[in-house]
Amino acid sequence: MQFSIRGQQIEVTDALRDYVDKKLSRLEKYFDAPPTSEGYVTLGVVRGLHTVEVTIPLAGVTLRAEDRSDDMYASIDAVVDKLERQIRKHKTKLNRKFRQEGSLKTLFVEGSASAVAVEDQEQDYDDLEVVRNKRFTLKPMDVEEAILQMNMIGHTFFVFSNIDTSEVSVVYKRDDGKYGLIEQN
Protein backbone atom coordinates (compact mmCIF):
# COMPACT_ATOMS: atom_id res chain seq x y z
CA MET A 1 0.00 0.00 0.00
CA GLN A 2 1.42 3.39 -0.98
CA PHE A 3 0.95 6.52 1.12
CA SER A 4 1.36 10.15 0.24
CA ILE A 5 2.84 11.77 3.37
CA ARG A 6 2.84 15.53 3.73
CA GLY A 7 3.44 17.95 6.54
CA GLN A 8 1.54 21.05 7.59
CA GLN A 9 3.74 23.48 9.50
CA ILE A 10 6.20 20.64 10.08
CA GLU A 11 9.03 19.14 8.07
CA VAL A 12 8.51 15.44 7.42
CA THR A 13 11.85 13.90 8.28
CA ASP A 14 13.04 10.51 7.01
CA ALA A 15 12.61 9.12 10.53
CA LEU A 16 8.96 10.25 10.64
CA ARG A 17 8.32 8.94 7.12
CA ASP A 18 9.86 5.55 8.00
CA TYR A 19 7.86 5.33 11.24
CA VAL A 20 4.59 6.11 9.43
CA ASP A 21 5.35 3.54 6.70
CA LYS A 22 6.28 0.89 9.28
CA LYS A 23 3.15 1.43 11.38
CA LEU A 24 0.72 1.65 8.45
CA SER A 25 2.19 -1.49 6.87
CA ARG A 26 0.54 -3.36 9.79
CA LEU A 27 -2.79 -2.74 8.07
CA GLU A 28 -1.84 -4.82 5.01
CA LYS A 29 -2.51 -8.06 6.90
CA TYR A 30 -6.23 -7.21 6.86
CA PHE A 31 -6.50 -7.29 3.05
CA ASP A 32 -6.55 -10.20 0.59
CA ALA A 33 -4.59 -8.15 -1.93
CA PRO A 34 -2.85 -4.86 -1.21
CA PRO A 35 -5.19 -2.00 -2.13
CA THR A 36 -4.24 -0.23 -5.35
CA SER A 37 -5.49 3.16 -4.19
CA GLU A 38 -3.09 5.61 -2.59
CA GLY A 39 -3.56 6.54 1.06
CA TYR A 40 -3.05 10.07 2.34
CA VAL A 41 -1.23 10.97 5.55
CA THR A 42 -1.06 14.52 6.88
CA LEU A 43 1.23 15.33 9.77
CA GLY A 44 0.87 18.72 11.40
CA VAL A 45 1.42 20.83 14.46
CA VAL A 46 -1.39 23.15 15.57
CA ARG A 47 -1.06 25.07 18.83
CA GLY A 48 1.54 22.67 20.15
CA LEU A 49 -0.54 19.57 19.41
CA HIS A 50 0.84 17.01 16.97
CA THR A 51 -1.91 16.03 14.54
CA VAL A 52 -1.99 12.95 12.32
CA GLU A 53 -4.74 12.40 9.74
CA VAL A 54 -4.88 9.25 7.60
CA THR A 55 -7.35 8.63 4.77
CA ILE A 56 -7.43 5.36 2.85
CA PRO A 57 -9.97 5.26 0.00
CA LEU A 58 -11.05 1.70 -0.82
CA ALA A 59 -13.72 0.18 -3.03
CA GLY A 60 -17.00 0.83 -1.25
CA VAL A 61 -15.54 2.29 1.95
CA THR A 62 -13.17 5.04 3.04
CA LEU A 63 -11.10 4.51 6.15
CA ARG A 64 -10.22 7.72 7.98
CA ALA A 65 -8.71 8.42 11.36
CA GLU A 66 -7.29 11.45 13.11
CA ASP A 67 -5.50 11.96 16.41
CA ARG A 68 -3.94 14.84 18.31
CA SER A 69 -1.49 14.59 21.19
CA ASP A 70 1.66 16.14 22.59
CA ASP A 71 3.84 13.55 20.82
CA MET A 72 3.85 12.89 17.06
CA TYR A 73 4.82 9.23 17.47
CA ALA A 74 2.00 8.65 19.99
CA SER A 75 -0.44 10.25 17.54
CA ILE A 76 0.74 7.94 14.75
CA ASP A 77 0.29 4.90 17.00
CA ALA A 78 -3.21 6.04 18.03
CA VAL A 79 -4.27 6.60 14.40
CA VAL A 80 -3.13 3.11 13.38
CA ASP A 81 -5.05 1.62 16.32
CA LYS A 82 -8.18 3.55 15.27
CA LEU A 83 -7.83 2.32 11.68
CA GLU A 84 -7.48 -1.28 12.85
CA ARG A 85 -10.65 -0.93 14.93
CA GLN A 86 -12.48 0.52 11.91
CA ILE A 87 -11.38 -2.38 9.72
CA ARG A 88 -12.53 -4.93 12.33
CA LYS A 89 -15.87 -3.11 12.67
CA HIS A 90 -16.42 -3.07 8.91
CA LYS A 91 -15.41 -6.71 8.63
CA THR A 92 -17.84 -7.74 11.37
CA LYS A 93 -20.63 -5.65 9.88
CA LEU A 94 -20.06 -6.97 6.38
CA ASN A 95 -19.86 -10.58 7.53
CA ARG A 96 -23.21 -10.20 9.27
CA LYS A 97 -24.86 -8.32 6.43
CA PHE A 98 -23.53 -10.04 3.33
CA ARG A 99 -23.34 -13.81 3.18
CA GLN A 100 -22.87 -14.23 -0.58
CA GLU A 101 -19.57 -14.36 -2.50
CA GLY A 102 -18.40 -11.29 -4.36
CA SER A 103 -19.65 -8.85 -1.76
CA LEU A 104 -17.63 -6.20 0.06
CA LYS A 105 -16.60 -8.77 2.67
CA THR A 106 -13.99 -10.12 0.24
CA LEU A 107 -12.14 -6.83 0.65
CA PHE A 108 -10.85 -7.99 4.03
CA VAL A 109 -8.87 -11.17 4.76
CA GLU A 110 -10.81 -13.90 6.51
CA GLY A 111 -9.41 -14.64 9.96
CA SER A 112 -7.09 -11.63 9.93
CA ALA A 113 -8.35 -10.43 13.29
CA SER A 114 -7.64 -13.73 15.00
CA ALA A 115 -5.93 -11.96 17.88
CA VAL A 116 -9.14 -10.09 18.62
CA ALA A 117 -11.88 -11.90 20.47
CA VAL A 118 -15.16 -12.34 18.62
CA GLU A 119 -16.98 -10.80 21.58
CA ASP A 120 -15.04 -7.56 21.10
CA GLN A 121 -16.03 -7.44 17.44
CA GLU A 122 -19.66 -8.06 18.23
CA GLN A 123 -19.56 -5.48 21.00
CA ASP A 124 -18.19 -2.90 18.54
CA TYR A 125 -21.04 -3.72 16.17
CA ASP A 126 -23.64 -3.54 18.94
CA ASP A 127 -22.46 -0.01 19.80
CA LEU A 128 -24.07 1.17 16.55
CA GLU A 129 -27.57 1.09 18.05
CA VAL A 130 -29.68 4.25 17.62
CA VAL A 131 -30.83 5.29 21.10
CA ARG A 132 -32.65 8.51 20.23
CA ASN A 133 -34.60 9.79 17.24
CA LYS A 134 -35.48 13.44 16.67
CA ARG A 135 -37.70 15.14 14.11
CA PHE A 136 -37.70 18.84 13.44
CA THR A 137 -38.62 21.38 10.78
CA LEU A 138 -35.71 22.87 8.87
CA LYS A 139 -35.80 26.63 8.94
CA PRO A 140 -34.32 28.35 5.86
CA MET A 141 -31.26 30.38 6.95
CA ASP A 142 -27.83 31.38 5.80
CA VAL A 143 -24.61 29.77 7.03
CA GLU A 144 -23.80 32.52 9.54
CA GLU A 145 -27.22 32.26 11.18
CA ALA A 146 -26.86 28.47 11.34
CA ILE A 147 -23.51 28.85 13.15
CA LEU A 148 -25.11 31.26 15.62
CA GLN A 149 -28.00 28.82 16.22
CA MET A 150 -25.55 25.95 16.72
CA ASN A 151 -23.56 27.95 19.27
CA MET A 152 -26.73 29.06 21.08
CA ILE A 153 -27.88 25.48 21.65
CA GLY A 154 -24.36 24.31 22.54
CA HIS A 155 -24.07 21.58 19.90
CA THR A 156 -21.08 20.78 17.70
CA PHE A 157 -23.19 20.54 14.53
CA PHE A 158 -26.41 22.00 13.16
CA VAL A 159 -28.65 20.84 10.28
CA PHE A 160 -30.46 23.56 8.34
CA SER A 161 -32.03 24.47 5.02
CA ASN A 162 -29.54 26.69 3.20
CA ILE A 163 -31.40 29.79 2.00
CA ASP A 164 -28.84 30.35 -0.78
CA THR A 165 -29.01 26.85 -2.31
CA SER A 166 -32.40 25.59 -1.03
CA GLU A 167 -30.63 22.36 -0.02
CA VAL A 168 -30.14 20.69 3.34
CA SER A 169 -26.73 21.58 4.78
CA VAL A 170 -24.79 20.94 7.98
CA VAL A 171 -22.43 23.27 9.80
CA TYR A 172 -20.08 21.81 12.37
CA LYS A 173 -17.42 22.98 14.78
CA ARG A 174 -13.96 21.66 13.97
CA ASP A 175 -11.40 20.64 16.56
CA ASP A 176 -9.28 23.66 15.62
CA GLY A 177 -12.13 25.99 16.68
CA LYS A 178 -13.17 26.92 13.15
CA TYR A 179 -16.34 25.86 11.37
CA GLY A 180 -17.05 23.47 8.52
CA LEU A 181 -19.94 23.25 6.08
CA ILE A 182 -21.28 20.04 4.54
CA GLU A 183 -23.40 20.50 1.44
CA GLN A 184 -25.17 18.10 -0.85
CA ASN A 185 -23.40 17.43 -4.12
CATH at residue 43: 3.30.160.100
Task: Kindly give, in sequence order, each residue whose CB lies less than 8 Å from that of residue 120, ignoring residues fewer than 6 positions away.
Answer: 88
Mean pLDDT score, 59-68? 83
Q: Tell me the residue range of the domain where 163 lies.
A: 140-183
Inside any domain, residue 39: yes
Nearest to 35 by CA among 87, 82, 73, 113: 87
Which pLDDT tens digit goes with each residue over 23-38? 988 888 877 777 777 8
What is the rounded CA–CA span in Å between residue 113 and residue 101? Answer: 20
30 and 92 in a common domain: yes
Same structural domain, 34 and 79: yes
Whether the Cβ atoms of residue 160 and residue 171 lie closer than 8 Å to each other: yes
Residues forming beta bridges with residue 43, ordered by sequence position: 7, 52
pLDDT at position 80:
93
Residues 112 and 148 in one domain: no
User: Tell me, what CATH number does 154's domain have?
Assistant: 3.30.505.50
The pLDDT confidence band at residue 106, using thresholds 50, 70 and 90, is low
**Of 126, 158, 175, which residue is a domain's last?**
126
- Per the model's pLDDT, the better-predicted residue between 71 and 116 turns out to be 71
